Amino acid sequence: MELIRAKDYADMSRKAANIIFAQVVLNPKSVLGLATGDTPLGTYAQLIEKQKAGDCSFAQCSSYNLDEYVGLSADHPQSYHYFMRTNFFDAVDIDAANTHVPDGAAADVEAACTEYDRMVAAAGYPDLQLLGIGRNGHIGFNEPGDTFPRGTHVVDLTESTIEANSRLFDSIDEVPRQAISMGIQTIMSAHRILILASGEQKAQAVHDMVLGPITPQVPASILQLHPACTVIADEAALALC
Ligand code: GLP
């Protein structure tokens, strides 16, 4: 695991965008694994600027997102489909047909999970997978548990994740209780991983991911075993490291 220390959120976002920018310039047909949440927003904003300035193009890229809430349609304002469209896809030159987010509104979510894994595998897995980290050490929606989930699967969200994500909904009762998430095996199959963390509320999770034992109780700790994983965290998130 390589650790890049950033000063603050803006510095973390610039550093992350520079790495993704280089990936896309070096391989215009990159398969990108993408994440939602507040953490990557600054990175997406930087990439939008670079593309608009003509410094890179996503026209030949494809993307696979990590997760989606069960029960929210793609046009629901709190869905991760909507998040990706409004915060990245619509602002850059990526072909919408080449962007993929798990289908939380599928009639058969189990079949949608199997199909998503097939598609990610057929694409050869992401050249670069962008990740954030939950306060409890989750990645995607792989919550702490007794085992590392393998493929894309349906997850029962923990109370701490429901509470943390309720800030984006009108009330906590509106937060879906389940999500579809790429599994740990799928995430670990990415050729390169970039995980971002900002703020003191992530300090314990970052400490446990980087310095703690590898355990499904801290899903991000498995990243210690990935051969090309870079952590970019700011000073507040590194307070315990
Ligand atoms: C959600 C997402 C994760 C994300 C995490 C942290 O649970 N499923 O992919 O990394 O929250 O979000 P934030 O970046 O807003 O702190």
Tokens at residue 24, please? 């896309």
Confidence of residue 172 (pLDDT cuts 50, 70, 90): very high
pLDDT, residue 12, reads 98
Beta carbons within 8 Å of 79's beta carbon, 6+ residues apart:
68, 69, 72, 73, 104
Confidence of residue 1 (pLDDT cuts 50, 70, 90): very high
**122 CA → ligand 1 middle, Å:** 26
pLDDT, residue 126, reads 98
Confidence of residue 149 (pLDDT cuts 50, 70, 90): confident
Tokens at residue 156, please? 């029962």
Ligand 1 contacts CB of residue 36 (under 6 A): yes
Question: What CATH class has 24-200+216-232?
Answer: alpha beta
Segment 69-81 mean pLDDT:
95
φ/ψ of residue 3, rounded to 5: -115, 120
Confidence of residue 56 (pLDDT cuts 50, 70, 90): very high
Q: Whose CA is nearest to atom 10 of ligand 1?
A: 132
Distance CA 84, CA 33 (A): 12
Ligand 1 contacts CB of residue 134 (under 6 A): yes
CB neighbours of residue 86 within 10 Å? 11
Distance CA 46, CA 13 (A): 7
Residues with a catalytic annotation lie at 67, 136, 138, 143
Asked if 139 contacts 226 with a C-beta cutoff of 8 angstroms, the reply is no
Which residue has 């991000």 as its token pair? 220
Confidence of residue 39 (pLDDT cuts 50, 70, 90): very high
**36 CA → ligand 1 middle, Å:** 6
Rg (CA), the chain: 16
> What amino acid is encoded at 33 in this protein?
G
Q: Which of 74, 68, 156, 154 is nearest to 111 (CA)?
A: 154
CB neighbours of residue 32 within 10 Å? 23
pLDDT, residue 61, reads 98
Ligand 1 contacts CB of residue 132 (under 6 A): yes
Ligand 1 contacts CB of residue 142 (under 6 A): no
Confidence of residue 20 (pLDDT cuts 50, 70, 90): very high
Confidence of residue 23 (pLDDT cuts 50, 70, 90): very high
**78 CA → ligand 1 middle, Å:** 13
Q: Element (H or E) spanning 181, and its range?
A: strand 178-181
pLDDT, residue 187, reads 98
Asked if 214 contacts 225 with a C-beta cutoff of 8 angstroms, the reply is yes
Long-range contacts of 221-227 (CB under 8 A, 24+ apart): 221/137, 222/148, 222/184, 222/188, 223/1, 223/139, 223/188, 223/193, 223/195, 224/1, 225/188, 226/1, 226/188, 226/190, 226/193
